[in-house]
Amino acid sequence: MRVHIATDHAGMELSAHLITALAAKGYDMVDHGPQAYDAEDDYPSFCINAALAVVADQAAGVDALGIVLGGSGNGEQIAANKVKGVRAALAWNLSTAKLAREHNDANVVAVGGRQHSVEEATEIIEAFLAEPFSDAERHVRRIGKIATYETTGEVVD
């Protein structure tokens, strides 16, 4: 699986750890930056580029997911969710990480680097990456309604 990762200055230590640890587990890691620490950096471009890459890979039939990191993960999740076709979920424990994939078929996970130890964040992200979508009809239906709104602006009951 290809994994696109992006961060801001607050998640750089975690990002570096994840790139190494996940590559060692066989994931094809693609780093969308930043490449150098800058306490004044702006995360949206990094996260949007990672999200765009996830959508492009998935459209091309590549098994791909994304990770966006920051201090809280909130802004990074918001930025990623602006990309058409992205379902980014903020995960703060194993359950939210697994449910994001199982129920929502989330394709990007956001984690706050200042909210967890490196070990805890790694477990959360590994749980997200490993969990398959359930493909249950009710979840497919709900995701379809979100996609309809995203592409047409129509709210489906």
Annotated binding site for D-ribulose 5-phosphate: 8-9, 71-75, 104, 114, 138, 142
Among the listed residues 13, 17, 102, 103, the single catalytic one is 103
* Positions at the binding site: 8-9, 71-75, 104, 114, 138, 142
DSSP state of 103: T
H-type helices in 25-136, by residue range? Answer: 43-59, 74-81, 94-102, 118-130
Among the listed residues 4, 32, 76, 116, the single catalytic one is 76
Element (H, E) at 3: strand 2-6
Neighbouring residues of 79: CB distance < 8 A, sequence distance ≥ 6: 43, 44, 47, 48, 51, 68
Whether 103 is a known active-site residue: answer yes
Which residues participate in catalysis according to the annotation? 76, 103
